[in-house]
Amino acid sequence: MTPHIRAEKGQIAETVLMPGDPLRAKWAAETFLDAPELVNDVRGMLGFTGTWRGNRVTIHGSGMGMPSLSIYANELITQYGARTLIRIGSAGAMQENVGIRDVILAMTATTMSTPSRGILRELNFAPCADWGLLSAAHAAAGAKGSRVHVGGIYSSDVFYDERPDLNEQLVRHGILGVEMEAAELYILAARHGCRALAVLTVSDHLLTHEALPASERQSSFGDMVEIALESAFA
């Protein structure tokens, strides 16, 4: 056990999917895994382990933001032996050709700051996805007929952004979308020799101000979970 995860040794799979919302972790586990077992509920952060096509998988919430994800990813990797970590979550689109419900596969994750900044200090480390996961996810999305985009995203450490000038530069430099966790996940995976990927569903658009209705989010996010699982075991 760790301060934030009560699972016993062996209860966490080597492959972990990490949605931000713990209730989404519960929904995904009950929808896609066979015989899901609750392995963590400390502070309401739910984690479940089951099987998908005979492969053991854990789906564990990460919370919102890079500091929260950093806690859970660190413990999952160093204390429980997780080797493949895939973030499944939502993103706000930042390009006109990226639409609501589209899937973004984050090849790189630009950021202003992460919890790892204290270690990297003056180094501008370039966080990127694992190529094997990325290519497998692209193939899986294509097979499903999903509209998919591969490229750079922005991992923000604030939700209520008041930097329109920064957003203008991100759009100008081709950033596909914004979310709040992937950059730190990619840095931790690099540090510990693990595989990582962020598979994101576009839930809203920063340019057009469109937003996916709450009633339609679950079905759209289901495609994202399937793409993540396919990529993990390709």
Fold classification of 15-232 is Rossmann fold (3.40.50)
For residue 50, say whether it is annotated as part of any ligand binding site: no
Half-sphere exposure of 160 (CA within 13 A, CB side): 0
For residue 24, say whether it is annotated as part of any ligand binding site: yes
Residue with tokens 């094997």: 132
Active-site residue, 34 included: no
Handedness of CA 191, 197, 202, 208 (dihedral sign): positive
Residue with tokens 């966790």: 181
Overall average pLDDT of the 191-218 stretch: 91
For residue 215, say whether it is annotated as part of any ligand binding site: no
Catalytic residue among 21, 157, 204, 223: 204
pLDDT in tens, 107-130: 999 999 999 999 998 999 999 999
pTM of the model: 0.95
pLDDT in tens, 88-114: 999 999 999 999 999 999 999 999 999
pLDDT on residue 162: 83
